């Protein structure tokens, strides 16, 4: 991988990390604002639904944040872009699409297939 490509991906990862953290802090402020103000029951019901949606989004963000942290750590250790399963290079095209990818496309498919089969059992 070229140094310029690595730098681009690192910048992307850092931006993405910041965006998730900013997003979550805005979300927290909004929730505190709502909690500090009197709300009627209809609002409360609507909020419950929104909460359920928001919490699934935050969960996804938290997971993504974890992957981003791991990817950044790998950049520091100079092992970024190597598949965790087969030790082959993940490939720049795949990393551009998904910079926090842990596996190459071949291993990713094996893992997905495995988890689908487990679900069916």
Binding site for Zn ion (CB under 5 A): 83, 85-86, 104, 107
Q: Residues 112, 26: contact at Cβ < 8 Å?
A: no
For Zn ion, the closer of residues 50 and 109 by Cβ is 109
CB atoms within 10 A of CB 87: 9
For Zn ion, the closer of residues 22 and 112 by Cβ is 112
Spatial distance between the Cα atoms of 13 and 44, rounded to a whole number of angstroms: 36
Least distance (Å) from Zn ion to the CB of residue 9?
Answer: 18
In this structure, the dihedral spanned by the alpha carbons of residues 102, 108, 111 and 115, taken in order and rounded to 10 degrees, is 100
Least distance (Å) from Zn ion to the CB of residue 110?
Answer: 8
For Zn ion, the closer of residues 58 and 67 by Cβ is 67
Least distance (Å) from Zn ion to the CB of residue 17?
Answer: 25
Least distance (Å) from Zn ion to the CB of residue 102?
Answer: 9
CB burial readout 41-63, b (16+ within 10 A) else e: eeeeeeeeeeeeeeeeebeebee
For Zn ion, the closer of residues 41 and 87 by Cβ is 87
């Amino acid at each position: 991988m070229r140094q310029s490509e690595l730098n681009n991906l690192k910048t992307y990862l850092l931006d993405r990390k910041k965006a998730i953290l900013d997003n979550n802090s805005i979300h927290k402020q909004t929730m505190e604002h709502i909690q500090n103000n009197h709300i009627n029951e209809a609002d409360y019901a609507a909020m419950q639904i929104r909460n359920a949606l928001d919490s699934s989004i935050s969960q996804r963000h938290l997971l993504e944040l974890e992957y981003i942290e791991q990817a950044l750590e790998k950049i520091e250790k100079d092992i970024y872009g190597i598949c965790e399963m087969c030790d082959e290079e993940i490939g720049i095209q795949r990393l551009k699409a998904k910079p926090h990818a842990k596996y190459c496309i071949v291993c990713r498919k094996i893992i997905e297939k495995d988890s689908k089969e487990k679900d069916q059992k």
